[in-house]
Chains A and B, each alone.
Chain A
Amino acid sequence: MITRPMIAAVLSTTAAVVSAAAGPLQVTSSILAESRAAAADGTTRITLVKPSQITPGDKVIFVLAYRNTGTQPLANVVLDNPLPRAIAYRSANPGSPAPDVSVDGKTFGSLGTLRVRSLDGSTRAASPNDVTSVRWRLASPLAAGSQGQFAFQAVVR
């Protein structure tokens, strides 16, 4: 059995740099790796840690933590994360809302609704490897003082 602690609790132990931008909304980006350790109760505990080294094939977790530090609610919050070229998208991290994804940076939707056009003009169903960007939308305004995070799993190409 595998238990997953709250990512927020883990994040507090990592040296993530908070956005320097002034304003009521802050967003902090981290790239983390899973560390598995046997717990005393026989389960495997997964914690997210800053990776010491990454090589092709390694699984990494992208975490985007946001917080409204202002005094007013913020509406229409959208978080975009274009993927670095060396990163292949896999899935939303457990506990995180699933993002909309895009294979061209323009059209966003669930992966199953997207198609990739080949050089010969034919199209095929998009796979996670085709994803170039992910996006989350907050359905309701972000109240003053509230926070949350999005996270997705990926693999180093």
Chain B
Amino acid sequence: MLGAVPGYAETLAGTAIVNTGVLRYDLAGAAQTIASNTVTLTVAERLDVRLSHEGQGVILVAPPSALPTVVPLTLTNADNGSESFAIAATLSAGTIMLRGLSIDVDGDGRYDPSIDLPLVNGGSAPLAAGQSVTLFAILAATEVAGVRDAALTVTARAITGSGTPASGFAGGGDSGSDALVGPTGAAASVVVPLATGLAGPSLFKSQSVRAADGSQAAVRDSVITYTLEARFDDAVTGARIVDAIPVGTVFVPGSLTLDGTPLSDAAGTQASDAQGFSIVVAIGQVAPASVHTVQFKAKIQ
């Protein structure tokens, strides 16, 4: 295998290569012409396939209540002939379900359940030599609980046959040509990293210390500024941020803020209060994809 000739489309499987040489010569002063025998070779179908997924990042699979998550993949018939491919998908996590596999029939790059119907018997329609299509894997999480390090593995195999390169299938190619497995093994896989449950809110806490002398030493009377950053991917209601004032520190009155706005320390206020050793900030209704930041200060005793 030297690889295809650059700049030329690959010769299609089933094409007959017909060769005849012509000899001319002079016999007793008269010009003569004869043809050789004709040799015919039929180009075989080389079975090859590629499957890819753009992007490196982890795909977040939507929770049960949301619309399914659609993972687009690119399936390429790398044959020199027409071929259908069997598509199989496996998921490493039991809490993620494969709702289906569909080809982007109308080629618009978007999954439309009414147009992009599920694969019939897990196989693609025949793809022309060199043709690429978008394959959608439609996923949904079955539980709200989070899963990290999950993976979707999709495999495509040439229907005519796959396996060890150069193994052949007599008469299995287009137009009765032979078929043989190409360098790809006529099979391709792609692994897409997945996660679920991260759509729930997350809270990150950080702190900075400032001593009376301006240093960051955590000594008596140093003031610690705590920052609580709450991230919400989805809209929620009744959100509250609760954090205990650490033992050995005392809350600095008037230091509580939400998104930079001071909140009352007084007990019984609607927005927040500093009760004993905890701060409680009621955020209430939260818009999707929002971040809220609470800060307060405590002095080391």
Residues of A bordering B, CB below 8 Å: 16-21, 23-31, 51-60, 62, 64, 66, 70, 72, 74-81, 84, 86-88, 129, 142, 155-157
Smallest Cβ distance from B130 to chain A, in angstroms?
Answer: 11
Q: Is the CB of A86 within 8 A of B25?
A: no
By Cβ-Cβ distance, the 3 closest A-B pairs, closest first, are A53-B44, A55-B46, A56-B10
Q: Are A81's CB and B19's CB within 8 A?
A: yes
Cβ contact within 8 Å between A86 and B36: no
- A31-B19, A57-B10 are known; give 5 further A-B pairs, CB within 8 A: A17-B39, A27-B36, A72-B27, A81-B19, A84-B18
CB distance A74 to B11 under 8 Å?
no
Interface of B is mostly: strand
Partner of A55, one of B19, B23, B45: B45
Q: For chains A and B in complex, what number of residue pairs have CB atoms within 8 angstroms?
A: 135
Q: Output the least CB separation between A10 and chain B (Å).
A: 16
Whether the pair A18, B37 counts as a contact (CB closer than 8 A) is yes
Contact in complex: A129, B5 (CB < 8 Å): yes
B180 on the A face (CB < 8 A): yes
State which of A54, A57, A72, A78 has its C-beta within 8 Å of the C-beta of B23. A78
Q: Which residues of chain A are within 8 angstroms of B32 by Cβ–Cβ distance?
A: 23, 25
Given contacts A53-B178, A72-B27, A157-B11, contact A20 B37 (CB under 8 A): yes
Near A by CB (< 8 A), chain B positions 1-55 give 1-5, 7-11, 13, 15, 17-28, 31-32, 34-39, 41, 43-46
Chain B residues lying within 8 Å of A157, measured Cβ to Cβ, are 4-5, 8-11
Residues on B with beta carbons closer than 8 Å to the beta carbon of A66: 23
Residues of B within 8 A of A21 (CB): 34-35
Judging by beta carbons under 8 Å apart, are B19 and A84 in contact? yes
User: Separation in Å of the B2 CB from the closest CB of chain A?
Assistant: 5
Distance in angstroms between the alpha carbons of A79 and B21 in the assembled complex: 7
